[in-house]
Amino acid sequence: MIKDIVMRILLAEDDPQLGSGIRTGLEQAGYTVDWLTKGDEVRHALEAENFDLMILDLGLPNKDGLSLLREARAAGLTLPVLILTARDTVADRVTGLDVGADDYMNKPFDLDELHARIRALLRRRSGRAEPLIRHGEVVLDPAARLVMLGGRNVSLTAREFAVLHLLLESAGRVLSREQIEEKVYGWNELVESNSTEVHIHHLRKKLGKDVIVTVRGVGYMIPKPNSSDRTVTS
């Protein structure tokens, strides 16, 4: 299981219009979003898949959000959970946080604030205090979705940005193609057999061939700064 990697969000929201709007907004911000509307479906997904954060509505059919959260924490799941609900009393907020939520937002809400709270939760989980991710001359700004190399902007596609973000957050660890695809693509998205290789090739052309290292037979990595791990490259 890969920990502390920023990409994949489980959205548990039964309101069709609100759920669609949240998913669209998050996908435009570069996240992979899997959206479910029933509590029992959410429970099964948490048991079967790896997510980096869950946005949880409390009023889900079949199984309410607080029960889901209690069970998830009792099972040892540590992913950040942001409760998003119309229940707005102090007692409701205290209960949600005490059960295991990491943050709490009331409906209606501002999408920009939701994005900022998600970034803060994921940044805290990865152990970063600074909003920007730096690696040598490469600087990635998750909020602005910008990448700079030596002070100049670099144009990346949404998938290239997602792959780079993932590798930077995982600096020093080798990720297999399957692990990268699990984070960058959702359940219903078609993945070409060589998609990851193509994204890596384009990133090397734009950022330099030595930024991303290939470990033959295993996968890809960005070494930690000043690391001497660059042993097997392509």
Look up residue 132 and give its two tokens.
């920007």
Q: What is the CATH number of the domain that holds 166?
A: 1.10.10.10
Instruction: Going residue by residue through the chain, which has 234 residues, state the pLDDT in tens, using 9 for 90 and above.
Output: 333 344 789 999 999 999 999 999 998 887 889 999 999 999 999 988 888 899 999 989 988 899 999 999 998 888 999 998 887 788 888 888 899 999 999 888 999 999 999 988 887 776 665 678 889 999 998 877 889 999 999 999 888 998 999 899 888 999 998 888 887 776 666 677 788 899 999 999 999 988 999 999 899 999 987 644 444 444
Give 68's contacts (C-beta < 8 A, 6+ positions apart).
12, 39, 42, 43, 46, 56, 60
- Count of domains for the chain: 2
174 & 102 share domain: no
Structure tokens at 187: 């359940």
Q: What is the pLDDT of residue 32?
A: 85
- Across the chain, where does the E strand assignment appear? 8-12, 32-36, 53-56, 81-85, 103-106, 133-135, 138-141, 146-149, 152-154, 213-215, 219-221
Secondary structure (DSSP) of 131-189? SSEEETTEEEETTTTEEEETTEEE---HHHHHHHHHHHHTTTS-B-HHHHHHHHS-TT-
List the one residue out of 17, 167, 11 whose CA is nearest residue 82.
Answer: 11
Q: What is the pLDDT of residue 128?
A: 64
Residue 177 lies in a domain: yes
What Rg value do the Cα atoms of the chain yield, rounded? 18
pLDDT at 104: 92
Domain that holds residue 15: 8-125
pLDDT at position 83 is 94
Looking at the structure, do residues 120 and 23 belong to the same domain, yes or no? yes
Residue with tokens 């911000």: 29
Residue type, 23: R
Q: Are residues 38 and 96 in the same domain?
A: yes
